[in-house]
Structure 1
Amino acid sequence: MPASTPNPSPIPKTPKSRKSSKPAPALAALHYRVELGDLHAHLFQVTLTIARPAALQRVSLPAWIPGSYLVREFSKNLQGLQAHQESRHPQPLAVEQLDKSNWQIACAPDSALVLRYLVYAHDNSVRTAWLDASRGFFNGTSVCLKVEGQEVLPHVLEIPAAKAMDGWSLATGLTPQAIDSRGFGRYQAADYDELVDSPVEMGAFWSGSFTARGVPHRFVVAGAADSFDGARLLADTQKICEAEIRFWHGKRKPLHQNYLFMLNVVDDGYGGLEHRNSTALICNRKDLPRQGDPKTSDGYATLCGLISHEYFHTWNVKRLRPAEFEHYQYGQENYTELLWFFEGFTSYYDDLLLRRAGLLDNAGYLKRLTTTVNQVAQAPGRQVQSVAEASFDAWVKYYRPDENTPNATISYYTKGALVALCLDLTLRSEGRTTHEKTLDDVMRALWKHCKAGPMRELDVASVLETLGLRSFAPELAAWVHGRDELPLKILLEQHGVTVLDEPAQLAQRLGLRVAENHSVQVKTVLRGGAAEMAGFSAGDEWLGLELIGKPVSSKTGRQPDAGWRLNKLDDLLLYTGDAKKVMALVARDKRLLRLELTLPPAITTWRLAVKNEARVNEWLDPSGTSV
């Protein structure tokens, strides 16, 4: 790759056009040209041409990206915005910044307005943009200014190939208009929503494809090691896609014409972001399947669950969506209380559909469900915040976790998944000998009831009542808007699952969440636990302990030396024996403190296991998939 240009100008000048015998293509209403401005400075160069601007044309850059409910202020990465109209004003036009993410340009409406700017791209996540010498990636919300008043017009995105892109290819879910064999060229979007809902991946990535129920699917992977087993990833993803298409449409034709998976493989990372006909994913390099190794690691099972989750969003959130998201307001928070349904129910089905696709057996599924159950049970915030409140507060709480998050909030992903589980098992129990309806039927009925569009909680209640032959208002009030404990144990046992008690880890017993690296660093002190009562605080370093109540020696007349250094939390059990109390030696803000800690009795967590295989299969494997 060539080195970056020394001391580049903020926006390189546009070269004069050369005469060509070929007629120029008709100018699109809105045309974005995205180029590599400087690989080593991580700068995309963008040229936006507005064919018919307003006299006072406003443009803006979104403050958030749908699917990730946090105001991220993407405008902080935009720099050097310039404007001109060559046919009218050879000199640059004044660009007035109205606020953090809105600009206004006074111009002649009968002449094309050209905006040029740079975007800094150095966020190696699924949410923003990235550019270096080996890879480029961006979401339109980070790169493409929105043109006020023209959002519903067709938008064209052009990404030309360049010398710096030797060996690179391009992948996006947008409709190609004129592209080369590697994917570079022009793409078209029906409107701004589609443009920014179609991320772009560039680089020397691995690429594979398959067909699921007649729909072409492509999978591109950036950053994988040579041991990566691409054939297995494709085969397993195909099973997931076929199971989910069958879930929503039965034998009918799916609604999407194609689909693209984009996976960025890194040393340490995890996440995904859904889009209308694509998804951006990130995972640990060690979690990919490896050639010659048929085993399914926990990491690979988690990756398959992520793929299943994001693909399920093709229906549940991208089309069937909260009514508040019918028209996105990109410049501000878009509030809804329904993330417990759209993210929580998707979280319920992601692993369940892995089971139905044959990628998990019953024991493997219950192991993953056990994790979810214990995550919710071990969060004191479940007694403080309802899952509907958690949905509404996502903008200020879920995406901004701190040391008090487990005490004050509950995840609409995990508890929402358990609400879905309880509704599913309740429907199955009550309808077993009569109408035999399940949550699967509810999801498909909502799809039809809402015409694959905006949905309200009233729609959920209505469909539940229709299919369940009674009102589910009490359950929705208690499980969604209340803070009651969910009736998990009784429902699971009714469906062939035994609930076993196992000793909780020491950290949970003490009411702590810690990091261990030659000492014990306290990250969170859980509400009402022994550590909180002793006076521990997030940020403390637990250095060691002294035993309290040791008998005095008859020879020396004093207690024996009973101090110990802690390197990891489990050392506590090694040194305490049958002691009931210890003096914890803690460093806080360079001060050494002695905290009297009463050791609590042992507590238990759950482990779910199969008790009645036939009953479990009625729930997990209704089609009789063999594993």
Structure 2
Amino acid sequence: MVTYRIEIADAHAHLFAVTVTVPQPAAEQQVSLPAWIPGSYLVREFARHLSGMSARQGDRDVPLQQIDKATWVARCTGRAALTLTYKVYAFDSSVRAAYLDAQRAFFNGTGVFVRVHGREAEPQRMELKGLPKGWKAATALPSVKVDARGQGTYEAADYDELVDHPVELGDFWRGEFKAAGVPHEFVVAGALPDFDGERLLADARRICETVIAFWHGKKKTFLKRYVFLLNAVDDGYGGLEHRASTALIAARRDLPQRSRRDAKDLSDGYVTLLGLISHEYFHTWNVKRLRPSEFTRYDYTQENYTELLWFFEGFTSYYDDLLLLRAGLIDEPRYLKLVAKTLSGVLGMPGRHVQSVAQASFDAWVKYYRADENTPNSTISYYTKGSLVALALDLTLRHEGRGSLDDVMRLLWERSGGGPVGEGDIAAALAEVGGRSYEKELQAWVHGTDDPPWRLQLARAAVEWGQQAPTVAQRLGLRVSESALTGIKVTHVLRAGAGEAAGLAAGDEVLGVDGWRVRRLDELPRLLPERGAMQLLVSRDQRLRTLTLSLPPAPEAGAVSLTLAGADKTPPAAMALRRAWLTT
């Protein structure tokens, strides 16, 4: 079988050495490195980090030609094994690529293992050798023969499986638990000394058991083993799902601390981390197995388009926090606070009237991962609005009394056998559970730019909608960074707002108003107690400009707040709907 040996060539230079052995190669054997990694929809050009490739058969050099940005041809003679060697520069600390220094290493196969054309469906072997003293290896890739540190041989059924198992290397913390009888492992690199690993394991177990029960009830799950790989950093957040593992990154300060053992003491940062764990674990079902029909087979050389990320990412985003509630890790007010934050973010995006979530999914390759100053005006997130489409469909189904979105998800799983689905399958499952067609809602909320009637739907579930007073930035249609030391810098100018009308642009520094130096936008109303027009002094590209800005009356445009309606003023049906929604 094709064998990949990966070693540390030079930790200080951040270089891996990779040796690929191809038995019985083709006469013109092509190999290529993927251009992207499934789950992160951007062409990342991993080949830019590969260098020094050479080829041999026995003691004979083999002519090697690069034919495009990421593809090479080895012109072989006879059937003797082809050996390729190359280096990979690894200094990307995200969850998507590869990283190596003297303290830690991490890699995804898409960034380090070339694909041997014509041999992708065959078993593939990975060999880990020569780990530094004190280092260990962690991965969900099935092992064949490894030592206590994880050095040795691993085997995958095919190339897709090989590159779908990230590997963590270093002197990390490791803990284990079982959820629904399935062994789970949690690996944490870079944590502070007061990190409470036992708390993290206990909370992760509750999440995993809740997710497994969501999909399978009391039936046995297909999972055999699962591994969480968490890299704790000074400042960072993110995750990437894989078939039997996930790679996570989080700020050290957001991990649980032994000095704060109170079960009710959950910081916002730790709740965010738990939501990330829930999100990526839910993906084990929704996107890794139940997945867009366009992803039946990945094309690693180019973009793989789908309009369904509103479902696979958005619906996963809906369930990640909801399942924290059902697992008993947060209470109902905390959950509603998270929903309100999402609502506020979506309602504050003018781009939701420009781009549908289906279009946002298709355009992910050029827009979602390349946000700029105009992003809020031209796009919408298929994560956030997708999650609110899920909320709207769930509350609609429950109000109509025929079922719930939970039932839809499980029906899709059963009907597809945990495999690829298209939008027609989703629409059919909604219709079967709800007893009617939901095409009108899908056209308006998914393919159109209409807002679902969230306020009405939440009221039917005994949840009261409130609106906080808008900030000055919201009244002006601006997003800014500001502090007493650095002053005010405009980052985004929202469409049709007062800031745009005045001529403000992203990058402008706001220096003063009517002769007064200002360092925070909230100072503006104090300077203009009786009138709304002001002369704004700004700096753009080191040139001073004076702009006339009108501070509009405060509209009802502040952040959304959601609260539980009391039973004394709520119909019993609404209370029953809320209980069912939040608990089952």
**How far has the Cα of 1:514 moved from its partner?**
0.9
For residue 521 of structure 1, what is the aligned residue in structure 2? 489
**How far has the Cα of 1:573 moved from its partner?**
3.0
For residue 593 of structure 1, what is the aligned residue in structure 2? 545
**How far has the Cα of 1:363 moved from its partner?**
0.1
For residue 11 of structure 1, what is the aligned residue in structure 2? none
1:37 and 2:9 matched: yes
The counterpart of 2:531, out of the listed 569, 579, 583, is: 579
For residue 536 of structure 1, what is the aligned residue in structure 2? 504
For residue 177 of structure 1, what is the aligned residue in structure 2? 144
**How far has the Cα of 1:617 moved from its partner?**
4.3
For residue 565 of structure 2, what is the aligned residue in structure 1? 611
AA in 2 matched with 1:577: P
1:83 and 2:55 matched: yes
**How far has the Cα of 1:619 moved from its partner?**
3.6
1:384 and 2:350 matched: no
Q: How does 1:304-343 map to 2 (within 5 A)?
A: 304-343=274-313
1:509 and 2:475 matched: yes
C-alpha contact (below 8 Å) 1:63/1:72 kept by paired residues: yes
The counterpart of 2:98, out of the listed 115, 129, 138, is: 129
For residue 120 of structure 1, what is the aligned residue in structure 2? 89
**How far has the Cα of 1:161 moved from its partner?**
3.0
Distance between the aligned counterparts of 1:154 and 1:298, measured in 2? 44
**How far has the Cα of 1:572 moved from its partner?**
1.9
Percent of residue pairs bearing the same amino acid type: 57
The counterpart of 2:126, out of the listed 147, 157, 169, is: 157
Distance between the aligned counterparts of 1:541 and 1:489, measured in 2? 37
**How far has the Cα of 1:307 moved from its partner?**
0.2
AA in 2 matched with 1:61: L
**How far has the Cα of 1:504 moved from its partner?**
1.8
C-alpha contact (below 8 Å) 1:497/1:616 kept by paired residues: no
For residue 207 of structure 1, what is the aligned residue in structure 2? 174
Distance between the aligned counterparts of 1:619 and 1:417, measured in 2? 19
For each residue in 1:355-376, what CA deviation from the matched residue of structure 2 results, as whole angstroms up to 9, or x when unmatched?
0000110000000000000110
AA in 1 matched with 2:294: E
Q: How does 1:377-456 map to 2 (within 5 A)?
A: 377-431=347-401, 435=402, 437-456=403-422
The counterpart of 1:463, out of the listed 404, 421, 429, is: 429
AA in 2 matched with 1:588: R
**How far has the Cα of 1:229 moved from its partner?**
0.6
**How far has the Cα of 1:301 moved from its partner?**
0.2
C-alpha contact (below 8 Å) 1:510/1:530 kept by paired residues: yes
Distance between the aligned counterparts of 2:50 and 2:357, measured in 1? 36
For each residue in 1:231-278, what CA deviation from the matched residue of structure 2 results, as whole angstroms up to 9, or x when unmatched?
100000000000000000000111110000000000110000000000
C-alpha contact (below 8 Å) 1:355/1:620 kept by paired residues: no
Larger Rg: 1
For residue 484 of structure 1, what is the aligned residue in structure 2? 450
AA in 1 matched with 2:52: G
1:475 and 2:441 matched: yes
* Structure 1 gap segments, 5+ residues each: 1-28, 547-562
Distance between the aligned counterparts of 1:52 and 1:575, measured in 2? 79
Helix, strand or coil for the counterpart of 1:110? Answer: coil
Task: Point out the more displaced range, 613-622 or 582-591.
Answer: 613-622
Distance between the aligned counterparts of 2:566 and 2:431, measured in 1? 29
Flag the 1:441–1:109 CA change in 2: closer, same or farther, 3 A.
farther
C-alpha contact (below 8 Å) 2:399/2:577 kept by paired residues: no
C-alpha contact (below 8 Å) 2:398/2:577 kept by paired residues: no
Flag the 1:85–1:466 CA change in 2: closer, same or farther, 3 A.
same
**How far has the Cα of 1:95 moved from its partner?**
1.1
The counterpart of 1:261, out of the listed 193, 216, 228, is: 228
**How far has the Cα of 1:565 moved from its partner?**
1.0
Flag the 1:566–1:619 CA change in 2: closer, same or farther, 3 A.
farther
Helix, strand or coil for the counterpart of 1:426? Answer: helix
The counterpart of 2:196, out of the listed 212, 216, 229, is: 229
**How far has the Cα of 1:110 moved from its partner?**
1.1
For residue 571 of structure 2, what is the aligned residue in structure 1? none
Distance between the aligned counterparts of 1:284 and 1:575, measured in 2? 39
For each residue in 1:377-421, what CA deviation from the matched residue of structure 2 results, as whole angstroms up to 9, or x when unmatched?
000000000000000000000011000000000000000000000
**How far has the Cα of 1:576 moved from its partner?**
2.5
Question: Could you state the TM-score of these two structures normalised by the residue count of structure 1?
Answer: 0.90
Distance between the aligned counterparts of 2:190 and 2:541, measured in 1? 41
Helix, strand or coil for the counterpart of 2:583? Answer: coil
Distance between the aligned counterparts of 1:575 and 1:253, measured in 2? 66
For each residue in 1:5-51, what CA deviation from the matched residue of structure 2 results, as whole angstroms up to 9, or x when unmatched?
xxxxxxxxxxxxxxxxxxxxxxxx10000000000000000000001
Task: Point out the more displaced range, 571-580 or 41-50.
Answer: 571-580
Distance between the aligned counterparts of 1:409 and 1:397, measured in 2? 8
Distance between the aligned counterparts of 1:383 and 1:450, measured in 2? 33
C-alpha contact (below 8 Å) 2:471/2:522 kept by paired residues: no
Task: Point out the more displaced range, 444-453 or 306-315.
Answer: 444-453
1:277 and 2:244 matched: yes
For residue 7 of structure 1, what is the aligned residue in structure 2? none
Flag the 1:368–1:469 CA change in 2: closer, same or farther, 3 A.
same
1:493 and 2:493 matched: no
For residue 359 of structure 1, what is the aligned residue in structure 2? 329
C-alpha contact (below 8 Å) 1:82/1:117 kept by paired residues: yes
Distance between the aligned counterparts of 1:573 and 1:172, measured in 2? 56
Task: Point out the more displaced range, 272-281 or 460-469.
Answer: 460-469
C-alpha contact (below 8 Å) 1:161/1:185 kept by paired residues: no
**Two-structure CA RMSD over aligned residues (Å):** 1.0
AA in 1 matched with 2:226: Y
For each residue in 1:522-574, what CA deviation from the matched residue of structure 2 results, as whole angstroms up to 9, or x when unmatched?
1110001100000000111111111xxxxxxxxxxxxxxxx111212222233
C-alpha contact (below 8 Å) 2:8/2:130 kept by paired residues: no
Question: Could you state the TM-score of these two structures normalised by the residue count of structure 2?
Answer: 0.96
